[in-house]
Structures are given as C-alpha cells and as structure tokens.
Amino acid sequence: MELVLFIHVIAMAFFVGGQIMLAAAIVPVERSNPDPARMKAIAQNFGWGSLIAIAISIFTGMLLASHYNLWSDGALHIKLTLLVLTFASLAAHMKFPKVHALMGLTFVLTLGIVWFGLELPV
C-alpha cells in the first residue's frame, strides 16, 4: 500500500505543483510578454497532465480509502466534497478562461483537498 500512497502523493504534487508553477512563474512572464497562442498551448498541455494526475489520484485514493476503511471518515467526506467543487471550478474555468478568479478558486480548493488528505489516518 506504500507504493499506492506514493503514486497518490506524486499525482497530487504534479497537480498542485503545476498550479503553483503556473501562478508564480509562467503567468507573470506571459503577462509581461503576452503571446496568447503560447499561453493557450501551455494551459492545454498542463490541462492534459492535470487530467491524468487527477484520474490517478482518484483511482489511488479509492484504493487507499478501501484498504484503510476510510469511507465513513469525516475528513474523507470533506475531501471528496472539495474534489467535486474543484471539478466544478475547473469546468467553469474551461468555459470562461479569462475569469482568472476561477483558477484562484481551483487552487484554494486543491489546497483544501491536500489539507484534509493530511488529516486522514493513512
């Protein structure tokens, strides 16, 4: 189960770390020297990587929750609620990509997922 937890954490690190990298390094550079086509390509590539990371996180999270009997744990319920809200925020961001507050919301929700993941007895 340690390998499953490791893969789960790496997938979340990709997703959260990628958001931090976009916000801290890529977006400021793109704002100072805008190239909409380049930014769109970066966002699309990160989006595909994020989709894979989220799918891996969900699969490994289900394995972990089952193995450790966490399905009735309140922290897991909050984490799953935040996951649903994150999907809603991502969907809204895809529909309205110029509303940057949606990416901020997605980031905050993702941090909440990580926080409540740390609360789980794994």
Q: pLDDT tens digits for 74-118?
A: 999 999 999 999 999 999 988 998 898 998 999 999 999 999 999
Cα–Cα distance between 68 and 60 in angstroms, integer?
A: 12
HSE-CB for 67 with a 13 A CA cutoff: 14
Residue 100, pLDDT score: 85
pTM: 0.87
Q: pLDDT tens digits for 41-58?
A: 998 899 899 999 999 999
Residue 9, pLDDT score: 96
User: What three-state secondary structure class fits 1?
Assistant: coil
What's the helix, strand, coil split of the chain in %, to 5? 85, 0, 15
